[in-house]
Amino acid sequence: MKKLRLIAMIEASFFAAFAIILDFLPSIKLSPSISISAAMVPIFILAFRWGFKVSFIAGLLWGILQIAMGDAWIATPLQAFIEYFVAFAWIGFAGLFYRVIQNQLRTGSKKKALAWVVLAIFAGSLARYFWHFIAGVLFFGSYAPKGMSPVLFSFLANGATMLGAAIICSILCVLIISSAPRLILRKLDDESLQTHKNAS
């Protein structure tokens, strides 16, 4: 068990670093302030491999790395906490679908597993961008076009980013997992084995 935890933490660190590398690559620009990237893919892969806790930690590490690398847009300490600690960690909500994805892959139901993968990606993306939406309303309302409420502005800006990122990440994750399901499929430990037997 201790060995598994160590491996999980090593992978969380590695995938968080991989996410920030992807974040530095060119992204799709919808406007000067709205861009869409596939940087969440490593965190999602980790979520499907290990579950909620490990992907939550990896997302948190990614947010911390964003600040450490100087790639964060910080207006106030509270805004930084919401957008780079809370929001990035909540990508880990995709890991709540970990067991059903693992079980579907083990039973050979790849199409069902991929459908759950897409659902999990949208859940994790929505969880993250909910916090960006809150931060947008609270801290960036002044950027809204004249006559537009901060709530609508934040909803449109973050909604477009969330939807675009979720679609791109879904396509990439489906392609990756379809061709290499072993990337997320883990050997069953004692607890998982018992759960798997009960589900069968």
Start-to-end CA distance of the chain, whole Å, equals 24
* C-alpha to C-alpha distance for 122 and 125, rounded to whole angstroms: 5
Strands (E), 23-180: 28-31, 34-36
For the chain, the domains span 2-24+32-199
Q: Do residues 162 and 129 touch, judged by C-beta distance below 8 A?
A: yes
Length of the chain: 200
Pairing of strands 28-31, 34-36: antiparallel
2-24+32-199: what CATH class?
mainly alpha
* C-alpha to C-alpha distance for 148 and 106, rounded to whole angstroms: 50
What b/e readout covers 38-63, taking b as 16+ CB neighbours within 10 angstroms?
Answer: bbbbbbbbbbbbbbbebbbbbbbbbb
* C-alpha to C-alpha distance for 16 and 50, rounded to whole angstroms: 14
Helix (H, G, I), strand (E, B) or coil at 75: coil
Note down pLDDT in tens along the chain; length 200 residues.
Answer: 778 889 999 999 999 999 999 988 867 766 655 678 999 999 999 999 999 999 999 999 999 999 999 888 899 999 999 999 999 999 999 999 999 999 999 999 999 999 999 999 999 999 999 999 999 999 998 888 899 999 999 999 999 999 999 999 999 999 999 999 999 998 765 444 444 444 44
pLDDT for 131 equals 97
* C-alpha to C-alpha distance for 192 and 75, rounded to whole angstroms: 44
Q: Tokens 């076009």 belong to which residue?
A: 145
Rounded to 5°, angle at Cα 153 from 39 and 25 = 20
